[in-house]
Amino acid sequence: MAETTRQEFMLGEGSGTGGGPQNIQLGVGPAHPAMHGIIRIVTELDGEVIVNADVEIGYLHRAFEKDCEQGGWNNAIPFTDRLNYVSPLINNFGYASAVEKLLGIDVTERCKYIRVIMSEISRISDHLTCVGASAMELGAFTVFLYMIKAREYLWELVEAVTGARLTISYGRVGGVKADLPEGFAERTLKAFKETREVLDEVHRLLTGNRIFMDRMVGVGALSREETIAYAITGPLLRAVGVGYDVRRAQPYYTYDRVEFEIPTQKDGDNYARYLVRMAEMEQSMRIVEQALAAIPDGPINVDFEGRPIDPAAYVDQGKQGKTEGLLLLPITLSPNLQGQQRADLNRVNMGDKRVVLPPKETAYGSIEGLMNHFMLIMEGYGIQPPPGEAYFPVEGANGELGFYVVSDGTDRPYRVRCRPPCLPPVAALPRMIAGEMVADLIPTFGSVNMIGGELDR
Amino acid sequence: MEILAELQRRFGDAIVETHEHHGDATAVVARDAILTVLAHCRDDVALAFDVLMDLTAVDYLRYPGREDGPRFEVVYHLYSIAHNHRLRLKVRLDEDDATVPSAVALWPIANWLEREVWDMFGVRFDGHPDPRRLLMYEEFVGHPLRKDYPITRRQPLIGPAT
């Protein structure tokens, strides 16, 4: 083919200086520094104005729902960690509660409080990440560092409780993995003091900051009607003045027993979303403080007489038939093996033997305990909810996180559906950015807080 | 619950079945009536289900006792902000005629949710403005959440021809 001359190119068919406006297509992503996940936004530009946009998702699809159907009911818990990986605890508890609803069981009081406390800590760290990252993309790198510092304090708490920072797998059907560690309340209050200082600093840096306001006020706005029609929940819905929050509307765990406000704004733009998130963090800290004060008390460590013995020695004694009094003996186990004392486990897990693994002392020390353990672990046994379906919504950091589970009466979920809270806002993203400048795409996308893990599942 | 009674009174035979397991009000609706029922649920003042919280499907191919029945169920979860109540509507579909009228005209979010159901289950939505796959790529063969799609199946990598 002959080389196209410059003149031909300019005057050629469908390009150059020909008749009418000519929009260009600009693909943002899938991998772009200002994208928090892998997502592609194909924009149609008229100059610098976005005329139209198409969002392509699915780059992080890893068959969450299909995988859940392959193993037992508890095997899905680690998968739920990886949905919203910034606040995985809420996913854990949401899934566990959906299965509990199917089973018709209720967890212990202490467990409910632990779930509330850990959910709120996750919510704060999620909002910190979201606000910090969006501020960074607008050039406020200091804010990002401050907020990540605060998140670090919270993740240290998460690590102290669950043993991991991200892939925590802490929730269990019928309870949680382990009790809160010693001195947790003091550590939490200390971390909150630091977090409050950071929030205060961020308020002084951003709220009212001329550059920040110029980029956020009036940008990415969505009307109240459209927000509802797009099924958007969470901070984005509250930013248009609808005070819907699952924690208040349909209280679960102990949210009806703590006092908190639902911050709302009217404008529905990025700035309103920022203000809602900032206010929500303070409310979450309030909830945790109340929950820590109200959590049913009891010694974390059982006051026992005599030394704890090694599990191997325990098994040996059991084999030799020296089982008398064995159940009362304390045992040393590493925390990773759920080696809490029995009393702790009973406090955070419900007593239902169909659902909750027995304490290791019982599993190692008595035939009934061992059988109970195997019945829950062996394939084909395990948790077997009665046939039926249930939907359980919790308030995730991005909005309503719902799990719709269907059981056919076997030990495997027949269907697990996760209602991802960040899918509706991403679906509405073209509506938010249409008619705005290319540069406005970045703060709007940041305020949507897209989390690839739960969006693509 | 009164929502279900009200729906039954108004739509009669179009409401095939209702139940309230675990406190979730559920109605199985005939396919031809689903759009009318959804529109009524959205617009009626006493119901006012203004949010389509979720739209998904379940493949009942291997479900004990339902192997011969309609294979798919499309599940709508509705929520009303004003009245703070929920409703689950379901439509049963046969495998050889797995088509439902699209709800995009009622709620724009149905666009993506229906695309996902088409992608994952191969259920078609009549009148959908943009019936592409949502999560998988266009060249993907089959619908992965169907019960007869083996989890071990590998599909060739796609990309520009080298």
A145-148 long-range contacts, CB within 8 A, separation 24+: A146/A198, A146/A201, A146/A202, A146/A205, A147/A198, A147/A202
B131 within a domain of the structure (yes/no): no
Pairing of strands B124-126, B99-101: parallel
B109 within a domain of the structure (yes/no): yes
- Which pLDDT score is estimated for A95? 92
CA distance A144 to chain B (A): 31
CA distance A231 to chain B (A): 5
Name every chain B residue with its beta carbon within 8 A of the beta carbon of A106: none
CB atoms under 10 Å from CB of A24, counted, come to 10
For residue A417, the chain B residue with the least C-alpha distance is B56
Say whether A65 sits in a helix, a strand or coil.
helix
Interface residue ranges in chain A relative to chain B, Cβ cutoff 8 Å: 57-58, 61, 63, 65-67, 70, 101-102, 104, 226, 228-231, 233, 242, 244, 249-250, 387-391, 393, 400, 402, 404, 406, 408-409, 414-415, 417, 419, 423-424, 427-428, 456-457
Structural domain span for residue B59: 2-126
Rounded to whole angstroms, how far apart are CA atoms A288 and B125? 45
Region for residue B24 given its phi and psi (left: phi exceeds 0; alpha: psi -120 to 50; beta: otherwise): beta
Nearest CB neighbour to B145, from listed A65, A226, A393: A65
Are residues A119 and A287 in contact, defined by beta-carbon separation less than 8 angstroms?
Answer: no
Are residues A55 and A426 in contact, defined by beta-carbon separation less than 8 angstroms?
Answer: yes
Say whether A413 sits in a helix, a strand or coil.
strand
B148 within a domain of the structure (yes/no): no
Model confidence over A439-449: pLDDT tens digits? Answer: 888 888 888 88
My answer on whether omega of the bond before A308 falls inside 30° of 0, hence cis, is no
Single-letter residue type at A387: P
Nearest CB neighbour to A389, from listed B21, B109, B135: B21
For residue B145, the chain A residue with the least C-alpha distance is A66
Rounded to whole angstroms, how far apart are CA atoms B141 and B162? 22
B145 within a domain of the structure (yes/no): no
Which domain CATH number covers B38? 3.30.460.80
**Domain covering A72-298+384-418 assigned CATH 1.10.645.10 in the classification:** yes
pLDDT class of B97 with cuts at 50, 70, 90: confident
| Residue range A266-271: mean pLDDT, rounded | 88
For residue A59, the chain B residue with the least C-alpha distance is B135
**In the predicted model, is pLDDT for residue A323 greater than 60?**
yes
| Binary contact (B53, A417; C-beta < 8 A) | no
- Reference B71, options B42, B101, B92; nearest CA is B92
| Residue range A311-337: mean pLDDT, rounded | 61
Say whether A419 sits in a helix, a strand or coil.
strand
DSSP code at position B58: E
Q: How many CA atoms lie within 13 A of B62 on its CB side?
A: 15
DSSP code at position A14: T
Rounded to whole angstroms, how far apart are CA atoms A419 and A413? 16
The reply to whether B145 touches chain A by the CB within 8 Å rule is: yes
B positions 109-138 inside 8 Å of A (CB): 109, 111-113, 120, 133-137
The reply to whether B59 touches chain A by the CB within 8 Å rule is: yes
Nearest CB neighbour to A427, from listed B109, B133, B137: B109
**In the predicted model, is pLDDT for residue B75 greater than 90?**
yes
**In the predicted model, is pLDDT for residue A84 greater than 70?**
yes
Model confidence over A128-164: pLDDT tens digits? Answer: 999 998 888 888 888 999 999 999 999 999 998 888 8
- Which pLDDT score is estimated for A167? 87
- Which pLDDT score is estimated for A342? 56
| Binary contact (B109, A231; C-beta < 8 A) | yes
**In the predicted model, is pLDDT for residue A298 greater than 50?**
no
Q: Which residue has the higher pLDDT, B5 or A391?
A: A391
Single-letter residue type at B134: L
Name every chain A residue with its beta carbon within 8 A of the beta carbon of B109: 229-231, 424, 427-428
| Residue range B143-155: mean pLDDT, rounded | 88
What Cα–Cα distance (Å) separates residue B151 from each residue in A415, B88, B142? Answer: 14, 29, 12
| Residue range A417-426: mean pLDDT, rounded | 91
Q: Listing from the earlier edge strand, what are the strands of the sheet with A40-46?
A: A24-28, A40-46, A49-56
Model confidence over A355-387: pLDDT tens digits? Answer: 777 776 677 767 877 888 888 887 777 788 888
| Residue range A200-225: mean pLDDT, rounded | 88
Name every chain B residue with its beta carbon within 8 A of the beta carbon of A393: 53
Test mutation, A56, A223, A226, A228, chain B, max B CBs within 10 A: A228
pLDDT class of B58 with cuts at 50, 70, 90: very high
Rounded to whole angstroms, how far apart are CA atoms A198 and A145? 10
- Which pLDDT score is estimated for A318? 67
Residue A222 main-chain phi, psi, to 5 deg: -135, 140
Nearest CB neighbour to A424, from listed B109, B133, B136: B109
Q: Considering its fold, how many domains does chain B have in total?
A: 1
Domain ranges of chain A: 72-298+384-418, 311-377
Model confidence over B10-54: pLDDT tens digits? Answer: 888 888 888 888 888 899 998 888 999 999 988 888 888 999 999
Residue A443 main-chain phi, psi, to 5 deg: -65, -35
What Cα–Cα distance (Å) separates residue B121 from each residue in A391, B72, B113, B130? Answer: 20, 8, 12, 17
Nearest CB neighbour to A70, from listed B108, B112, B151: B151
- Reference A115, options A186, A168, A50, A49; nearest CA is A168
DSSP code at position B20: -
B positions 60-79 inside 8 Å of A (CB): 62-64, 75, 77
**In the predicted model, is pLDDT for residue A402 greater than 60?**
yes
Name every chain A residue with its beta carbon within 8 A of the beta carbon of B86: 391
